[in-house]
Each structure stands twice: as C-alpha cells, then as structure tokens.
Structure 1
C-alpha cells in the first residue's frame, strides 16, 4: 500500500503539532517549577525574618517583665513606707 505525498505530509504535520504541544507542556512545567521554587524561597526568607522578629519581641518582653517586677517591688515598698509613717502618726490608712 503506497502512501501518497499528501498523506505523508499530513502525518508529518500532525507529528510536528504533537511535538510542539509536548514542548509547550514541558516549558510550562519548567516555568511552574521555577515559580514554585521562587515562592518557596520567599517563604523561607519570610520564615527566617519572622524568627528574628519573634526572638527580638521575646527579648523585649523579658525586659518589660523584669521592669514590671522592679516597679511592682518599688510600689510595694513605697506603700509599706507610707503605711509605716501613717501608723507611726496614728492615722488610719485608706490605702
């Protein structure tokens, strides 16, 4: 069975179309992969930045808690001193 030139050209065109479609799919897959890798890198950078921010916030929180304890102690001592003075003066404290 002899294949005509027109049939051979049609088959060649179909094959080239399929090859072109496969190349397009491959390029899309590569682009998608590159996009995912870029997105992953961005998320890793964000995670690292957030970890640094969290550590900084934790340090500030510890300092604030220490300051709060110090202030509470000073206020407590001041109240005790005022009560002592009032007691020595015979005045009933309203504190």
Structure 2
C-alpha cells in the first residue's frame, strides 16, 4: 500500500506540474499576442504620423504659396491705385 500511495502522489504532483506548465505556456502566448497587438498599434501610429507630417508639409507649402500670391496681388493693387491717382490728378 505505501508504494501505491507514493505512485498516486507522484502522479498527482506530475499532473499539477503539467497543469502549471500549461498555464505558464498559455500566459506566455497571451503576452506574446498582446505584444504583437502593441507592435501593430505602434506601426499604425508611425504610419499615421508619417501621413500627417506629409499633409502638414503640403499645407505649409500651400500656405507659403498663398502668401506669395497675396503679396503679388497687394503689389498689383498698389500699382493700380497709384495709376488711378495719377490719372485723376491730371
């Protein structure tokens, strides 16, 4: 009988160890899955940042171009007003 109890105890301990190992493997797989999710999110954030940076550059270019056009229009308006004043003064 004592040897049967010992075998039963060993089998029970082995089952408990296997259960603990399975739990550890499951936890590891879950952490790896979460890490992959985070890495995917980081990639999406970087892609969004790159897209937004490009859009910002394009917007800045358009704003600069509009400033140049605005200065040219202002210059032409001043020239036209001076021409009109000169004609009226005659």
TM-score normalised to structure 2 length: 0.85
CA distance in 2, matches of 1:81, 1:48: 49
- Cα RMSD of the aligned pairs, angstroms, is 1.7
Shifted more, 48-57 versus 15-24: the winner is 48-57
Task: Report whether the alignment pairs 1:25 with 2:30.
Answer: no
Q: How many residues align?
A: 88
Higher relative contact order structure (alpha carbons within 8 Å, sequence separation ≥ 6): 1
Q: Match of 1:79?
A: 81
Shifted more, 75-84 versus 19-28: the winner is 75-84
Local SS of the residue matching 1:4: helix
- From the two aligned structures, give the one with the greater helix fraction: 2
Unaligned runs of at least 5 residues, structure 2 = none
